[in-house]
Amino acid sequence: MEAIVNKKARFNFSIEDTYEAGIVLEGWEVRPIIGRKMNLDASHVIIKDGELFLLNAQIIPEKTTNHSDKVEPTRTRKLLLKNHKLCNLWVKCKKKVILLSLQRFTALVIKLK
């Protein structure tokens, strides 16, 4: 699967390090991401209470999505990162002011038996 790339992140900022993290999604968000209907242009990452959160990433719902569910295209999503990597990132943020931005998003589809 091809990655969804935030081209503006590389153009506007200098990238020091990259990290690979998981993301917590709701059920309706999976199919649009597989169909590459995600916009990362205004998105950024924050550290809050020792956890990473992705803000302003827009996932465009499909027309077949059940709208009785609460559908928020730009909701805050939790990112999953290993503890030692999160600690390294936290130390870097404490030493100097840095902006955390999502530069690349790849969806991996795992089928459960």
- Domain boundaries, given as residue ranges, for the chain: 4-105
* pTM for the model: 0.74
List pLDDT tens digits, range 47-84. Answer: 888 888 888 889 888 887 666 567 888 899 998 888 88
d(CA 65, CA 89): 36
111 pLDDT more than 50: no
Q: Please list, residue by residue across 85-103, b when 16 or more beta carbons sit within 10 angstroms of its beta carbon and e when fewer do.
A: ebeebeeeeeeeeeebbbb
Q: Give kind and range of the element (H or E) at residue 79.
A: strand 77-80
At the fourth CATH level, which superfamily is domain 4-105?
Small protein B (2.40.280.10)
Q: Give kind and range of the element (H or E) at residue 46.
A: strand 44-48
In percent, how much of the chain has pLDDT > 90? 2
Confidence of residue 46 (pLDDT cuts 50, 70, 90): confident
pLDDT score recorded for residue 84: 82
